[in-house]
Amino acid sequence: MKIKTLITTAPSCLAAVGLLTLAAASARAATPALQGQVIARPLTPGDKISYSLPASLEVSGGLSTAGVGTPIYLEAQINSAVPAADITGVSWVLTNQPIGSAAALQSSPLGTNVPIYEPGDRPAFQVAGRMLLRTDVTGQYTVVATITTATEGTTNVTFNITAATYVGVNTCALCHSGGLVAQDMVQSWQTTKHSQIFTEGIDGLLGHYSQSCLQCHTVGYDTATNAVDGGFDDVATQNGWAFPTVLTNGNWASMPPALKNLANIQCENCHGPGSEHAYALGNTNVSNWPRLSVTVSSGDCNQCHDAPTHHIKGTEWYTSKHALASRVPTGPNRTACVACHTSLGFLARIQGWSSTNTTYAALGCQTCHEPHGLTSPTNNPHLLRILGNVTMPDGTVVTNAGEGSLCLECHHTRNGAAATNVANYQKGAPTWFGGSSFGVHDSPQGDMIEGINAITYGQTLPSSAHRYTVTNLCVGCHMQATAAPTDPSFLQAGGHTFHMSYTTVSTNGVTNTVDKVDACVQCHGPINSFDMPVQDYNGDGVIEGVQTEVQHLLDTLSTLLPNSAYVANGNYVADGLVKSPSTRTNWPTKFLNAAYNWQFVNNDGSKGVHNAPFATGLLRASIADLTGVSAPGGLPDWWVIKYFGSLTNASGTANANPTGDGLPNWLKYALGLDPTIAGTSMPGGVVWANGKNLVNPVVDPSATNSIAIFTAAEVAFNTEVGKTYQIQAISSLSETWSNIGAPIQGTGNPISYVTPTRGNSQQFFRVVHTP
């Protein structure tokens, strides 16, 4: 039987115009491919709230296998690059349905305010049209949608549907309990919380529990009059069972066996009703085999887990970057990239499948969680797909990540060992298993928090205690709980959003970003921002927030790296401009090493929060390698070592004043003064006299004096024995000169009078002598 439902048609005059437009289009640039597809759109409780849909609408997991009489929300999609105004219509045809079926396509209840379901699909596709189908008998249905555009052509897309009834776990167990026919899924499922949720609820072990929970906690629960598909509600009616008024031990035991067979969350909740699959008895020659849905779409889980305000794991996930995983590194010839960028590719990698599916699929629930209970170790409370030791790209084995070990499977540099990457890049050799690109891949948070796999110049750099003190590493902070729904960060930060900040809107409409610091205050005290002051990492004399300090160091390092005009002639001089480095293979190793560290810290994204000592240590070491300056504040290494013995001596830092005379080391270096000899304090400054030359000596011929003096001033003069010298000052040339301090007896050596930084104050100096 063929039933045709024509929803939209174009008048003949418009069709003629379309032909003319197409002809004109042949002379312009290539038009985007339509890339049409039809899907069954999931519909979650959260959707009904977000888009003000009727509460009576039935939810759907978006499966192509559905219970008889339940709704399938059909959605035709095309490439988002096609102008929306170019879509002239979609015609829908039910081309195949079982004998005896009178089902017909109907208008969809989903309005234009309802977007494409998967957040990761929205940038790529747009809705061309929607319809609704309620099947009425078991069997196979085929829907064809013809999508027509004014200038980009027409496409026909087909969608197959299996209508079936529910059979319950006992039937599934006939094949899926191990043995020769299929893998054991049922016995492992029995160890999960899904398998016990209704049992515990009906026996009063969960606290609050009501009949409204049955929609998710039983199989095929749908009380709509059309939905007669052998689900829990149908069998309950047949057996005269009613939800108990008292939740107590024994309720489960007293239930009819046929109803127990459909209780708890089991196979058909996620795969759709199984009668068509079971009755085919493994006959792969039947049409649309296996007549059961297997998907990694988030809608399958979120038909239950997107139900604010209490069942919100899926709702949180919608706002995460995992839901918006980039589509660019997927598709044919991207087998290396999809190992982290798409759900199916990741599963293929960690499960050792012989082939890799490069089709895009967002990093959803089933990417990280194995719903059948087939996890290792078996005492895995969250059904995480993989736990245990993680081997990082440089070979380091991380043993202390806990549940965060799953995160480290992708959140690392991915490009092998740092030094190897630099060396191979210079030779044009492969730098990682996906090609020969330079440097650090996006999101190297695992390497950063562990303090590994960067260019350390042979130094042992310090690391923060985060890797030892934060339980479950990434999870401990990024999945912190929110006090739903009163917490302003509710559904914006923590949990499965993985975000560490959220936005608020003030009464006058100003949007502010707020850091979610709850997980931090346990150790760091009452802070309100991740940009908390720690120490003067960049040595400018001001202790700013750690993220600000790291950004200053990133900017400083970038000014020392080559720009696009670099020529390898040995005469390169840094342009001094802040930039995002773009490397070339002809860069000397010193520049590539520094660029690698710049990428490492920048791509981590936390600006030092994950591991401030390691991040700042890398940046300072890189700056030192390019300038000879590694001590905080920019003092040359040779100068610090000469006077203080080592770079780790606190007395040698830029702002230190080891002699107590009021002049910091940076100023004494700039003026060529010996920092180990104290001057004599005088009003407004310090007199310093130990035989220095008046010309600032360059102790290291290769070093340059790049320290700024700001508004400090030095009055230096030679003296003779037998003469007395007096320093004088005025603020305006119209004033009378005033003496500064007591007269100074000449010794035959030079004398310096050094003022401190004076802000915007103006001062003139002179020296008079007698005789």
**Is the whole model's pTM more than 0.85, yes or no?**
no
The model's pLDDT over 595-622, given as tens digits with 9 standing for 90+, comes to 999 999 999 999 999 999 999 999 999 9
Q: What is the pLDDT of residue 181?
A: 67
Which residue has tokens 């007698």?
770
Do the Cβ atoms of 660 and 680 come closer than 8 Å? no
Nearest of 695, 689, 693 to residue 677 by alpha carbon:
689
Question: For residues 695 and 687, what is the distance between their CA atoms, to the nearest angstrom?
Answer: 17
Which residue has tokens 């057996």?
239
Q: What is the pLDDT of residue 692?
A: 46
Question: For residues 389 and 395, what is the distance between their CA atoms, to the nearest angstrom?
Answer: 12
Q: What is the pLDDT of residue 634?
A: 67
- CA count, 13 A, side-chain hemisphere, 563: 9
Radius of gyration of the chain measured on its C-alpha atoms: 36
Q: Where are the domains of the chain?
A: 3-164, 169-272, 481-515, 672-770
- Residue 349 zone, left/alpha/beta (φ > 0; ψ -120 to 50; rest): alpha
Q: Which of 149-163, 541-555, 732-746 has the lowest mean pLDDT?
A: 732-746
- CA count, 13 A, side-chain hemisphere, 520: 17
Do the Cβ atoms of 68 and 227 come closer than 8 Å? yes
**β-bridge mates for residue 269, sequence order:** none
Q: Is 130 helix (H, G, I), strand (E, B) or coil?
A: strand
The model's pLDDT over 479-489, given as tens digits with 9 standing for 90+, comes to 999 887 889 99
What CATH number matches the domain at 3-164, 2.60.40.1120, 3.40.50.300, 2.60.40.10, 3.10.580.10?
A: 2.60.40.10
Under the banding of pLDDT at 50, 70 and 90, the label for residue 199 is: very high
- Given a cut of 70, is residue 492 above it in pLDDT? yes
Question: For residues 768 and 311, what is the distance between their CA atoms, to the nearest angstrom?
Answer: 84
Burial of residue 85 (number of CB atoms within 10 Å: 0-12, 13-18, 19+) = exposed
Beta strands in 413-563 (DSSP E): 501-505, 511-515
* Count of C-beta atoms within a 10 Å radius of residue 104: 14
- Given a cut of 60, is residue 767 above it in pLDDT? yes
- Given a cut of 50, is residue 709 above it in pLDDT? no
Beta strands in 104-227 (DSSP E): 106-107, 125-134, 139-149, 154-164
The model's pLDDT over 35-44, given as tens digits with 9 standing for 90+, comes to 999 999 999 9
**β-bridge mates for residue 89, sequence order:** 148
Do the Cβ atoms of 485 and 431 come closer than 8 Å? no
Q: First and final CA of the chain: distance in angstroms?
A: 124
Q: What is the pLDDT of residue 722?
A: 92
Under the banding of pLDDT at 50, 70 and 90, the label for residue 699 is: very low
* Count of C-beta atoms within a 10 Å radius of residue 64: 18
pLDDT: which is higher, 701 or 180:
180
Contacts of 512 (CB under 8 A, 6+ apart): 503, 504, 505, 506
User: Given CA atoms 299, 301, 303, 305 in this order, what sign does their dihedral have?
Assistant: negative
